[in-house]
Amino acid sequence: MVVSPLIVPTTLFVLVGLAEKLSMADLIRVGVVSAVIYCVLPLIYLFILIRKGHIQTIEARDHQSRKKPLLWGSLLLTAAIPGMVWAWPEPTHLPFLMSSLFAFNAVILALITTKIKISLHVCSIASMVSIMLALKWFNLIDWIPGAPLSWVIGVGLIALVSWARIDQTAHSNREVIWGLVYGMILPWLEIAVFRSAM
């Protein structure tokens, strides 16, 4: 069982769209644009890297082979910022904040990966939970869709993905813990800084 990190941004944009009470048409537009930017284009990029022999699988499990693809892929995420601001139906700071978080944190993760391997799967799921909590905590959204059940699902996903990454020998306990710590703490701190600057 693997939950792809590529689905996290789209899931978050849709959840925040629900929290912001976007119309169904606007929610679909945000979801489709987000899916293309954060899922389809990265998958095309990964398949090209596999075809050229730069990586063996989409997961790029080998620590050395994931450095360059992660760095270039993360830099490409900066192009998502204007795309998501455009897709959002009304002027607001949320699409800019969220797409900036994804781009900035992807670059940091790519740089961290040059030194140590951490679980991007666990990090992404933990980030999703952390971002939703922080957006609510700092009053950037009024409510969280599906809460409190969504929290149970989020924590359950973190536990399941952590277990699966260790069970599949994709990561050590240490790599999973680093992914969890990074995913839970950094987005929260970044949103706190953003909120204090508003």
The more confident residue out of 94 and 69 is 94
Amino acid identity of residue 130, one-letter, is S
Distance of alpha carbon 105 from alpha carbon 100, whole angstroms: 8
* Predicted pLDDT of residue 25: 96
Q: Using 50, 70 and 90 to split pLDDT, how confident is the model at 180?
A: very high
- The DSSP code for 146 is T
pLDDT at residue 193 in the model: 93
Of 146 and 127, more confident: 127
Percent of the chain at pLDDT exceeding 70: 95
Task: Give the separation between CA 136 and CA 129, rounded to whole angstroms.
Answer: 11
The answer to whether residue 147 scores a pLDDT higher than 60 is yes
Map out the domains of the chain as residue ranges. Answer: 7-197
**What is the model's pLDDT at position 2?**
65
CA-wise closest residue to 10 among 42, 41, 43, 32: 32
- pLDDT, mean over the chain: 86
Per residue in 109-130, pLDDT tens? 888 877 888 888 888 999 999 9
Average pLDDT over residues 167-196: 90
- Full-model pTM: 0.86
Q: Is the pLDDT of residue 20 over 80?
A: yes
Return d(Cα 86, Cα 105) in angstroms, integer: 21
